[in-house]
Amino acid sequence: MSLLWTRDAPRWALTIRAATAVLLALTAIMLIRNMVFAQADPSGEATLEADPTVGLTFVWTLLSGALVFFMQAGFAFLGAGLIRAKNTVNYLTKNMLDFAAGGLSFWAFGYAFMFGGSGAFPGLDQGNAFIGYSGFFLVNQAYDVSTAMFWFFQMVFAATTATIVAGAVAERTKVTAYLAYSFLVTALVYPIYGHWMWGGGWLGGEQLESWIGAAAVDFAGSGVVHTIGGMLALAGAYTVGARMGKYGPNGEVRVLKGHNMVYVVIGTFILFFGWFGFNAGSTVNGNDPRIAVIIANTFLAGATGAVTAAYIRLVQRGKISAADTANGSLAGLVAVTAPCAFIAPWAAVVVGAVGAIVMLAGVWFIDTKLKIDDPIGASSVHGVAGVWGLLAVGIFADGTYGVSGFVAGNGVQFVAQLIAAVVAVLWALGTGLLLFHALKATMGLRASPEEEMSGLDMPEHGEETYPVEAS
């Protein structure tokens, strides 16, 4: 750490020092502005007086956000179970730092970049079609109960996006580099695409609608959260390289088995449970009866994805894989996240089945053809199934919630969804490759061969998940 502040510090250290100075200056400016300008409604009295029933929406949205936050435990179990025991502490540490560093950066910068200009809540009035620029640090007019409610709900989504990458780069990535990644993704990469879709930006707003006749729609984040997270995972796995021993001298694919299937199944159930808050909570309205259809669709897609993946493996191998069944359910859930409010239950079954199919195809292609090592299949579960979810809106939206696709006679919506999917893939892959290569050139991204062989737990943390003394 002392090297960072010496006069002859290397270039990467100078970069960190400059970035730290800028962040501190921005923080000081925002705090001073908070002392000068009035706040909106930090006590909630005016909000409650204007709408005495608003408490139900607050409770519903905040509890849904808490469910999404609990999905971090699901990611912790799932990822830890699918990797080797010697790297478990390292993975769990990254899982904890994701929401901590990501939540702070989203509070400081990401929320403003994402929703500034949307006018959705007080303090979010300034921005343009590309990026927002109001709501930093939740100060000034953003110091408001409604704005804080929405921030919390959106913050846990941002943290989820960052967490998706942890499993894809597991077992060979430095924890310090990963911490920097989490901060930057939730401060910039995720919020900017999120602004385009959800913050009044060009994809989900008037600009695209004026160009082609329809704006892109993503109800709860198949594109904003999962495609972005999955493509960042792919970029990270590619940049850091495959684990030692993953591919043979002739390119043959070797299976590096995870160490605990109990964790995998527990993690899947926790994630499934949290998804009800993820999807239905995106109404941000406790008085919206469509919540019932959203929850039904969420369950049906996840269940269908699990069954589909199980039977595909039974036909292919004569055996049902618990890991692939778990990932099949998650792929179904990812796929239905964008269309869950716009489709009938029968369509949710189709969406979930196709989600599992494209996920399994994606795992095979990325692993065997691209030779990119993704230990838990995050690139396919979230990235590939997320793209399908965006497209599914343009196919199955039946018009009952204000969006119509092919089944309702509207083909233009599919074009809008296709544009949103292409932009998401290009944005996340492009920025992801730039970000990970920058970290690789400065801080260093990959652990040493000796550390990787021994496992990252002791070299990076001095702790073990299963110490010999304990047994």
CA dist., res. 59 & res. 63, Å (int): 6
Comparing CA positions, the residue from 398, 379, 395, 386 lying closest to residue 335 is: 386
Phi/psi zone of residue 409: left (φ > 0), alpha (ψ -120 to 50 degrees), beta? left
Comparing CA positions, the residue from 378, 379, 375, 384 lying closest to residue 355 is: 384
CA torsion sign for 230, 257, 252, 326 is negative
Q: Six-digit token pair at 64?
A: 């849904």
Which string of DSSP letters, residue by residue, matches 176-207?
A: HHHHHHHHHIIIIIHHHHHHHHHSS-TTTSHH
* Residue pLDDT tens, the chain, 471 long: 444 545 556 655 555 656 666 666 665 555 555 444 456 899 999 999 999 999 999 999 999 999 999 999 999 999 999 999 999 999 999 999 989 999 999 999 999 999 999 999 999 999 999 999 999 999 999 999 999 999 999 999 999 999 999 999 999 999 999 999 999 999 999 999 999 999 999 999 999 999 999 999 999 999 999 999 999 999 999 999 999 999 999 889 999 999 999 999 999 999 999 999 999 999 999 999 999 999 999 999 999 999 999 999 999 999 999 999 999 999 999 999 999 999 999 999 999 999 999 999 999 999 999 999 999 999 999 999 999 999 999 999 999 999 999 999 999 999 999 999 999 999 999 999 999 999 999 999 999 999 999 999 999 999 999 987 665
- Are 172 and 444 in contact by the 8 Å Cβ rule? The answer is no
- pLDDT tens digits for range 93-103: 999 998 999 99
CA dist., res. 414 & res. 342, Å (int): 13
- Are 135 and 147 in contact by the 8 Å Cβ rule? The answer is yes
What is the CA 246 to chain-centroid distance, rounded? Answer: 26
Phi, psi of 398 (to 5 degrees): -100, 5
Comparing CA positions, the residue from 196, 185, 320, 216 lying closest to residue 265 is: 320
Residue at 155: amino acid letter: M
Task: Name the pTM for this structure.
Answer: 0.92
Q: Which residues contact 162 (CB under 8 A, 6 or more apart)?
A: 98, 99, 102, 181, 182, 185, 186, 190, 229
Q: How many CA atoms lie within 13 A of 307 on its CB side?
A: 11
